[in-house]
């Protein structure tokens, strides 16, 4: 069973969909908590993960967008403020999407067409993690009559159902630790080379 926390509810709901797809099992049990901000997650995350451990979770994931910081610095912060104080006995993954989780959606932009039928993105993003503010970029790409069709809070978890995870894995190095903990049971707290 997984214990998953993230900066907001949308990220956590998206991760739940992706974890089940990676596991090839819709029935994987996932306890989760999305916070109102990264600061709140960093303050309360250790206590929440410890509570998940008491509910028999054995794999733990904390997701913290790198935004404009380095993935290495964000990972270090997650370890220091969440995982070390929690002192969990299971496998742990400090998951740091480069820029934002939306870079993973940009890796397979065509998945959006399964949800927003009127939007036909023309180009594929070969290097989505190099795009600053991928959330805003998605909204900008989807503008029709000065209004974005895409809303991350609404669409991310739904679009995640259609993502080609092989494309995401190929185009987003920050996705690799999630794939590793789900598919191999391998966390990344001790792996300094893996951001």
Q: Which part of the chain has CATH 3.40.50?
A: 2-99+173-184
| Whether pLDDT at 27 is above 80 | yes
Per-residue pLDDT at 191: 63
pLDDT digits (tens, 9 = 90+) for 121-178: 878 889 999 999 999 999 998 887 778 889 999 999 999 999 999 999 999 999 999 9
Number of Cβ within 10 Å of residue 20's Cβ equals: 18
| Whether pLDDT at 194 is above 60 | no
| Whether pLDDT at 25 is above 90 | yes
Q: Catalogue the E-assigned strands of 56-158.
A: 59-63, 91-95, 143-144, 147-148
Backbone angles phi, psi at 63, to 5 degrees: -110, 125
pTM: 0.94
Quote the CA–CA distance of 74 and 40 in Å, as a whole number.
15
Q: What is the mean pLDDT of the chain?
A: 93
The band of 192, judged by pLDDT with boundaries at 50, 70 and 90, is low
According to DSSP, the β-strands at 147-148 and 143-144 are: antiparallel
Dihedral, CA of residue 85, residue 179, residue 6 and residue 139, to nearest 10: 150
Per-residue pLDDT at 195: 44
DSSP symbol at 101: T
The band of 98, judged by pLDDT with boundaries at 50, 70 and 90, is very high
CATH architecture of 2-99+173-184: 3-Layer(aba) Sandwich (3.40)
Inter-residue long-range contacts of 145-154, CB under 8 Å, 24+ positions, other chains counted: 149/116, 149/118, 149/119, 150/112, 150/116, 150/119, 152/10, 152/102, 153/8, 153/9, 153/10
Per-residue pLDDT at 147: 86
Q: Catalogue the E-assigned strands of 64-190.
A: 91-95, 143-144, 147-148
Q: How many residues does the chain have?
A: 195
Compute the average pLDDT of residues 22-27: 96
Lowest mean pLDDT among 42-46, 78-82, 151-155: 151-155
Quote the CA–CA distance of 12 and 119 in Å, as a whole number.
25
Per-residue pLDDT at 123: 80
| Whether pLDDT at 19 is above 60 | yes
User: What SS3 state is found at 47?
Assistant: helix
């Amino acid at each position: 069973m997984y214990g998953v926390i993230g900066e907001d509810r949308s990220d956590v709901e998206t991760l739940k969909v992706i974890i089940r797809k990676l596991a090839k099992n819709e029935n994987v049990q996932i306890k989760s908590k999305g916070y109102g901000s990264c600061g709140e997650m960093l303050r309360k995350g250790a206590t929440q993960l410890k509570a998940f451990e008491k509910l028999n979770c054995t794999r733990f994931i904390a997701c913290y967008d790198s935004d404009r910081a380095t993935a290495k610095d964000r990972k270090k912060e997650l370890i220091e403020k969440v995982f070390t104080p929690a002192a969990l006995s299971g496998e742990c993954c400090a998951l740091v999407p480069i820029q934002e989780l939306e870079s993973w959606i940009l890796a397979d932009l065509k998945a959006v067409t399964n949800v927003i039928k009127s939007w036909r993105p023309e180009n594929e993003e070969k290097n989505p993690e190099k795009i600053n503010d991928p959330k805003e970029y998605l909204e900008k790409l989807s503008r029709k009559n000065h209004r974005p069709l895409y809303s991350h809070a609404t669409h991310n978890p739904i679009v995640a159902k259609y993502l080609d995870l092989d494309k995401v894995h190929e185009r987003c190095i920050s996705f690799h630790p999630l794939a590793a903990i789900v598919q191999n049971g391998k966390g990344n707290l001790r792996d300094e080379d893996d951001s």
